[in-house]
Amino acid sequence: MDKREMKQCQNCKKDFTIESEDFDFYKKIGVPPPTWCPECRKQRRLLFRNERILKKNKCFQCGREIISLYDMESPFNVYCQECWWGDLWDGTQFGKEYDFSRPFFTQFHELFQEVPRIALNGHRSNKDSEYVNYIIEAKDSYLCFGGGYIENVLFSTLGVRTKDSAEIYFSFDCTFCYEISDCFNCYRLIFGRGCVDCRDSYFLDDCKNCNDCILCSGLRNKSYCYKNRQLSKSEFVAIKEEFGNLTQNKISSYKKEFVSIALQTPKRFLDISHSQSCVGDHITNSKNCVFSFNIIEGENCKYSSDIMFKAKDIYDGTSCGIGNEQIYEAMTSSININQGKFSSVVRNNCFDIQYVMDLHSSSHLFGCIGLKNKQYCILNKQYTKEEYEELVPKIIKHMNDMPYIDQKGRVYTYGEFFPLELSPFAYNETIAQEYFPLTKEQALTQGFGWKDSDTKNYSITKKPEDLPDSIKEVNDSILNEVIGCVHGGTCVHQCTTAFRIIPQELEFYRRMNLPLPVLCPNCRHYERLAQRNPLKLWKRQCMCNESRIEDQKQKAHQNTVVHQHGEGRCPNIFETSYAPERKETVYCESCYQNEIV
């Protein structure tokens, strides 16, 4: 039976559709249909993940100085990794009797203020990587967030099985790479976007199985190409020499050229490979994943992003890892999580959990925070199986009879994710700012918190313009300098205004012949993100033979073969992550395959 339904979003007041298959999913997992639209739901989840704004704090248990998501002024008792994972405390000691005279979320919020919080979302599998967050199996790595199985990696987000590399975004199995995003299995690729099996190259966009190429876009199985032209080996070697000692000046002029070269080749409407029935972007080896982004080995996922490896039946999941199944409204769900609803940071092996935060290896929990190896708890209080099974339906009914109403009048019954007010972070400290950027004024008007960046203790000893051009002129004394960021805190990137170079980093630049950076790590991350399409789709027509393109014929791509649709414009319509105002020539699958093979 088809029962498609149009609803108005409780938050943004825009209309959204709930499809008949969605109703089936909600019924299967026992939740009511949502009252917020998919975008607002995503934004609400992202507000619970602070990846990269790290602060100094002290462990409440052992007194050690630590790096934490929370500063000294926060209301939480913050524990270092050892103390949080240790046996000296037990989350059930904070257990509370459920109070049927007050809303659920009010009681949950009180518990949330009392239970100790882990300093960083690290994992015991991380080694010699103090400054990493939301990551597993990281070794000798620094300022890396999300993903895992990395070694000697600097400044990465969602890097997986990657080694000896820096400045990474959503890339897999890469070694000796620098400034790459959406790349797979690359080696010595410096500045790369959407490349697979490429090596010994600089500035590549959408290339596959290429080696020794520079400033190229849309190439397959090529060597010795420069600006998309085939050169002889000796011609190429002469040019490559110049790239052996990059300076910031050279990089910025190559970057400009790179942008115009990339514009000359048609873009595939979506980056989806080895997948069936998927709509979204950056999807690989997946099946039936729709309105989803950054998915590797996903099946039946909807409105989800950052899903990696054997994950199945997920609606509204963000950052779900290996073996997640039957998940709804989850922000950070690590390994082997089954039947998880409304959760933020669930680590390994959890089953049948609802309204939970900071869990590890637990099952049958409702409204719990910071529990390890527990079963049948509500608000951290231990019950028997029978008591638990009797109480949970009563609480669900109570959540509907006495809903929580937030400051903006939004109503939270059973079936809503955590109220925005429960996030311990300011809007611009979280990844909500990365995917739904707001100015300070916009954030405050919409009822979000905002944190101005901390400039307090930095006295800059080196201006970015005074840095040596080439890494060859840099000596070890640079390690003592406090370098000013070019943005100087004027952007909305949580600019730290200044930064230091660490020894491991200096070694990397020397080895790769790369100049010192002139932006702080946060600004570098945001600049990289700006190169990537947003997690959004627009309905558009294939641009093949579009007259607007004809006018720019000198610059834009000219087809090399006759297409099925003939001389006229291709009629194909698709959902694409390229917004209509963008300059790229966006092709449907068939036109793209005709030109880029």
Task: Kindly list the residues in this chain that would bind Zn ion in the complex (CB under 5 A).
Answer: 9, 11-12, 37, 40, 485, 487, 491, 493, 495, 520, 523, 542, 544, 563, 570, 572, 588, 591
Report the nearest approach of Zn ion to the CB of residue 9 (Å). 3
Q: How far is the CB of 22 from Zn ion (least distance, A)?
A: 16
What's the rounded Cα separation, in Å, for the pair 589 and 89?
A: 56
Closest contact distance (angstroms) between CB of 583 and Zn ion is: 18
- Closer CB to Zn ion, residue 13 or residue 233? 13
Helix (H) or strand (E) holding 448: none
Pairing of strands 229-230, 223-226: antiparallel
The smaller minimum CB distance to Zn ion, of residues 46 and 66, is found at: 46
Q: Give 172 or 427: the residue with its C-beta nearer to Zn ion.
A: 427
Distance CA 21, CA 86 (A): 44
Strand partners, 58: 65
Answer yes or no: are the C-beta atoms of 495 and 487 closer than 8 Å: yes
Residue 339 C-beta: closest distance to Zn ion, Å: 27
47 — phi, psi (to 5°)? -70, -10
CB of 346 to Zn ion, least distance (A): 25
CA distance 520 to 154: 13
Pick the closer one to Zn ion by CB: 35 or 152: 35
381 vs 525, which CB is nearer to Zn ion?
A: 525
State residue 247 phi and psi, 5-degree precision: -115, 165
Helices 104-114 and 385-401, packing angle to 10 deg: 120
**Residue 325 vs 416, nearer CB to Zn ion:** 416
Return the number of the residue (12 or 506) whose C-beta is nearest Zn ion: 12
Six-digit token string for 201: 């190259």
List CB contacts of 248: < 8 A, sequence separation 6 or more: 467, 469, 515, 516, 518
Query: Nearest distance from residue 272's CB to Zn ion, in Å?
Result: 16
Q: Give CA 232 to chain center in angstroms.
A: 40
Chain Cα centroid distance, residue 327? 18
Minimum distance of Zn ion from residue 570's CB (angstroms): 3
Residue 323 or 437 with smaller CB distance to Zn ion:
437
From the list 365, 217, 175, the residue with the least C-alpha distance to 208 is 217
Q: In angstroms, give the least distance from the CB of 565 to Zn ion.
A: 6
